Structure 1
Amino acid sequence: MIVLPAIDIKNGKCVRLKQGLIDQETAYYDDPVFVAKMWEEKGAKYLHVVDLDGAFTGQQTNMDLVKNIVESIKIPVEIGGGIRTLETVEKYLESGVDRVILGTSAVENIDFVRDLCEKFPGKIAVSVDAKGDYVAIKGWVETSDTKVMPFCESLKNAGVKTIVYTDISRDGMLSGPNLEMLDLLNKSLGIDIIASGGVASIKNIEDLSNLGLYGAITGKALYEGTLTMEEINALSGKAR
């Protein structure tokens, strides 16, 4: 299982939000490019970048910054946050981003997802952000009437190979991931599942790895020091 350090960008800085709330923000670093280099040097194999400004406004104001991150490191980068048009997807992929993550646009238009998966096979992921049994949209501000499991099945049928599942109630809370739901998704769908939200310790990483998941995203735990890349690398070495 790969562990992806998260870099959440807001107003040009690396921040974390608690439960996705725009007014529950902690700024960690002024320079996200520095942070990307730091995680690579510490042994990260893949980075998860979120444009929070894009998620809340739908405007891609940090595209140049994301491009700078991609160009400054050798490991792959996935990007999400307010990506709602073909043009935006193309620009990110042309800039060297390895995988583009859709959110709200996938809930609102499954045909858009299908078209992108056909055009860019293996390059499109969808972030399924759950409030209970339902999918949240627009930077987690609104809850849709779409249920998580049927939605995930429709994504698989549309050609999506990777789903990022976040239990919003656990995000930024260091309370542990929703193992039961992640196990269900992994066994039911047979595609790559990335766990996000609540990862607090190496024990959480171990539990997720034991489920046979493709990946796990961690942000606050790394920035607060309750989890370290050294621990992750040691666990990865044991697994081999």
Structure 2
Amino acid sequence: MQTIPAIDLLNGQAVRLHKGSYEEVTVYDKSPINQARKFKEAGFEHIHVVDLNGAKEGEFINLPHIKEIIDELDISVQTGGGIRTFDDVEMLLDAGLSKVICSSMAIKNEEDWLHSLQQYPEHMILGMDLKDGKIAYSGWLETAEESVESFLSRMIDEGLQEVLCTDISKDGTLAGPNFDLYHDLHRSFPKVRLIASGGVSSLEDLETLDEADIDAVVIGKAYYEGRMSLEQMAGFNR
């Protein structure tokens, strides 16, 4: 299992939101590149960066900070937040991002999402945020009518290789992941690389995900709140 440390960027600072609320913000580091450097020094070669301004406003005002991380640290970055069109995808890949995570775009602009998926299959990640068993989008305010199983099956037929799945009810809560959700997805769609996200709070959580053969896990708040060290996180990488 791959462990992927996370940085959420808001106004150029490394923060965390509680359950996605912009009203509940904790600033962990005013210099995101300093935080990324700690990850690099601990042996991580790939990190997860979310542009919260982009997600809310659709403008990539944190992209210069992300580019600085990539250029100065020579580290691989996957990013999401505010990606609306195929042109956005190309712009981010041209800027040096290794992978692009699309959530709302996959629902609201399926034409451009499928075009991106067909042109850059190895660089595209479906960001599948689940709310009460349904795919949520537009800042988690709306949910899709199509079932998770139907949507994923269609996307796999179109070449989807990787899914980042977040249980919104667990995000930023340190309440433990939704193990049943990830187990069921892995069993139903074994050919898709599954990245778990949301709720990880302990080494025991990582052990359970690892034993379930989940491919990767994004870790944010558990690290920032001192629940686990970078050395402990890195110990699960393979």
Q: 1:48 is paired with a residue of what secondary structure?
A: strand
Q: Which residue of 2 aligns with 1:54?
A: 54
Q: 2:60 is paired with a residue of what secondary structure?
A: coil
- Measured against aligned partners, the alpha-carbon deviations of 1:139-168 in whole angstroms (never above 9, x if no partner) come to 223333343232222221221111000000
CA shift in 2, pair 1:61/1:146, >3 Å: farther
Say if 1:107 and 1:146, in contact at 8 Å, map to a contact too.
Answer: no
Q: Which residue of 1 aligns with 2:229?
A: 228
Say if 2:7 and 2:15, in contact at 8 Å, map to a contact too.
Answer: yes
**Whole-angstrom distance in 2 between the partners of 1:6 and 1:141:** 23
What's the offset of the Cα at 1:132?
Answer: 1.2
What's the offset of the Cα at 1:169?
Answer: 0.4
Q: Which residue of 2 aligns with 1:25?
A: 25
**Whole-angstrom distance in 1 between the partners of 2:114 and 2:108:** 12
Q: Which runs of 5+ in 2 are unaligned?
A: none
Say if 2:77 and 2:99, in contact at 8 Å, map to a contact too.
Answer: yes
- Measured against aligned partners, the alpha-carbon deviations of 1:9-66 in whole angstroms (never above 9, x if no partner) come to 0011100001111111111010111111111111223100000011111122112121
CA shift in 2, pair 1:45/1:205, >3 Å: farther
Q: Which residue of 1 aligns with 2:203?
A: 202
CA shift in 2, pair 1:53/1:146, >3 Å: farther
TM-score scaled by length of structure 2? 0.95
Counterpart residue identity of residue 44, structure 2:
A
Q: Could you say what the CA RMSD is over the residues aligned between the two structures, in angstroms?
A: 1.4
In the alignment of these two chains, the number of paired residues is 237
**Whole-angstrom distance in 2 between the partners of 1:101 and 1:212:** 22
Counterpart residue identity of residue 131, structure 2:
K
Q: Which moved more, 1:56-65 or 1:169-178?
A: 56-65
Q: 1:111 is paired with a residue of what secondary structure?
A: helix
**Whole-angstrom distance in 2 between the partners of 1:93 and 1:233:** 26
Q: Which residue of 1 aligns with 2:40?
A: 40
- Measured against aligned partners, the alpha-carbon deviations of 1:59-114 in whole angstroms (never above 9, x if no partner) come to 22112121111112233110000101122111111111100000101012333222
What's the offset of the Cα at 1:228?
Answer: 1.4
Q: Which residue of 1 aligns with 2:194?
A: 193
**Whole-angstrom distance in 2 between the partners of 1:95 and 1:122:** 16
**Whole-angstrom distance in 2 between the partners of 1:168 and 1:152:** 18
**Whole-angstrom distance in 1 between the partners of 2:121 and 2:143:** 29
TM-score scaled by length of structure 1? 0.94
Q: Which residue of 2 aligns with 1:99?
A: 99
**Whole-angstrom distance in 2 between the partners of 1:197 and 1:45:** 21
Q: Which moved more, 1:97-106 or 1:107-116?
A: 107-116
Q: Which residue of 2 aligns with 1:176?
A: 176
Q: Which residue of 1 aligns with 2:79?
A: 79
Say if 2:3 and 2:234, in contact at 8 Å, map to a contact too.
Answer: no
Q: Which residue of 2 aligns with 1:114?
A: 114
Say if 1:42 and 1:229, in contact at 8 Å, map to a contact too.
Answer: yes
**Whole-angstrom distance in 2 between the partners of 1:229 and 1:32:** 16
Residues 1:136 and 2:132 are matched in the alignment:
no
Residues 1:153 and 2:153 are matched in the alignment:
yes
**Whole-angstrom distance in 2 between the partners of 1:191 and 1:235:** 20
Say if 1:110 and 1:155, in contact at 8 Å, map to a contact too.
Answer: no
